[in-house]
């Protein structure tokens, strides 16, 4: 199923580990829980940013940092949460958030297990030839207060021209 602007965002479940002071150390694991964006953020705007992998060069250097730096601008535009997803497991994603100094719940790092959600909307990428398996592609989705897709773009290349913080802020 392709996902387009004005479509209802699907009822999807991701897995994540909420940040807590008790699990603040990067080596602390925490316990994964379900994240159902449509339920948890009902009536609120949220952004999903997908990356091929935590701790990878473009994702860590060019994609995540601007979202962290511009968090207040997203909040000022009515965004309730930014959810970074990847096919990585929730433990790796939790560590990636901590390694990047994210100690709040405004930016959530969640697993798209086996890239199932990304596959379902046609936004996965097969990196098997590089030893990485099937991953989430690099993309961004804005879901409005009514649960409708207000913006959705997949990167055409390896940069962050349509899924980066500046591009998404311009669409809010």
Whole-number pLDDT of residue 131: 74
Whole-number pLDDT of residue 75: 97
Q: What are 131-151's pLDDT values in tens digits? A: 777 889 999 999 999 999 999
Average pLDDT over residues 27-56: 94
Of 157 and 152, the structure prediction assigns the larger pLDDT to: 152
Domain contains 26 = yes
For residue 117, pLDDT beyond 80: yes
For residue 1, pLDDT beyond 70: no
Beta 134-136 vs 139-143: how paired, if at all? Answer: unpaired
Q: 11 falls in which pLDDT band (50, 70, 90)?
A: very high
Domain of 124, in residue numbers? 14-171
Q: What is the dihedral of CA 27, 14, 121, 124, to 10 degrees?
A: 20
Q: 6 falls in which pLDDT band (50, 70, 90)?
A: very high
Q: Given its phi and psi angles, is residue 137 left (phi above 0), alpha (psi -120 to 50 degrees) or beta?
A: beta
Domain contains 6 = no
Domain contains 105 = yes
Catalytic residue among 48, 49, 50, 59: 59
**Is 59 assigned a catalytic role?**
yes
Reported for 31-40, long-range contacts at CB under 8 A and 24+ positions apart, including other chains, are: 32/90, 32/91, 32/111, 35/83, 35/108, 35/110, 36/11, 36/12, 37/9, 37/12, 37/81, 37/83, 37/143, 38/9, 38/11, 38/12, 38/147, 39/11
Mean pLDDT, the chain, as a whole number?
93
For residue 87, pLDDT beyond 80: yes
For residue 84, pLDDT beyond 90: yes
Domain contains 5 = no
Measure Cα distances from 22 to 30, 31, 103, 107, 160 in Å: 9, 12, 12, 18, 34
Domain contains 7 = no
Domain contains 156 = yes
Domain contains 114 = yes
Domain contains 101 = yes
Q: Where are the beta strands (DSSP E) in the chain?
A: 14-16, 33-35, 45-50, 79-86, 107-111, 124-126, 134-136, 139-143, 149-154
Task: Name, in order, each residue with C-beta under 8 angstroms of 167's C-beta and a sequence gap of 6 or more.
Answer: 140, 153, 160, 161
Q: What are 47-72's pLDDT values in tens digits? A: 999 999 898 877 777 889 999 999 99
For residue 166, pLDDT beyond 80: yes
Q: How many domains does the chain have?
A: 1
């Amino acid at each position: 199923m392709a996902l387009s602007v004005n479509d209802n965002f699907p009822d999807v479940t991701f897995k994540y580990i909420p940040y807590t002071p008790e699990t603040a150390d990067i080596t602390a694991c925490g316990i994964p829980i379900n994240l159902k964006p449509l339920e948890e953020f009902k009536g609120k705007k949220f952004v999903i940013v997908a990356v091929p992998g935590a701790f990878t060069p473009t994702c860590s250097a060019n994609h995540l940092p601007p979202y962290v730096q511009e968090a207040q601008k997203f909040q000022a535009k009515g965004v309730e949460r930014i959810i970074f997803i990847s096919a990585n497991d929730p433990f790796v994603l939790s560590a990636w958030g901590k390694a990047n100094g994210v100690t709040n719940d405004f930016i959530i790092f969640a697993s798209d297990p086996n890239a199932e959600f990304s596959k379902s909307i046609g936004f996965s990428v097969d990196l098997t030839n590089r030893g990485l398996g099937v991953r989430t592609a690099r993309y961004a989705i804005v879901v409005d207060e009514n649960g409708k897709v207000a913006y959705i773009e997949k990167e055409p290349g390896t940069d962050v021209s349509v899924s980066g913080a500046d591009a998404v802020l311009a669409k809010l």
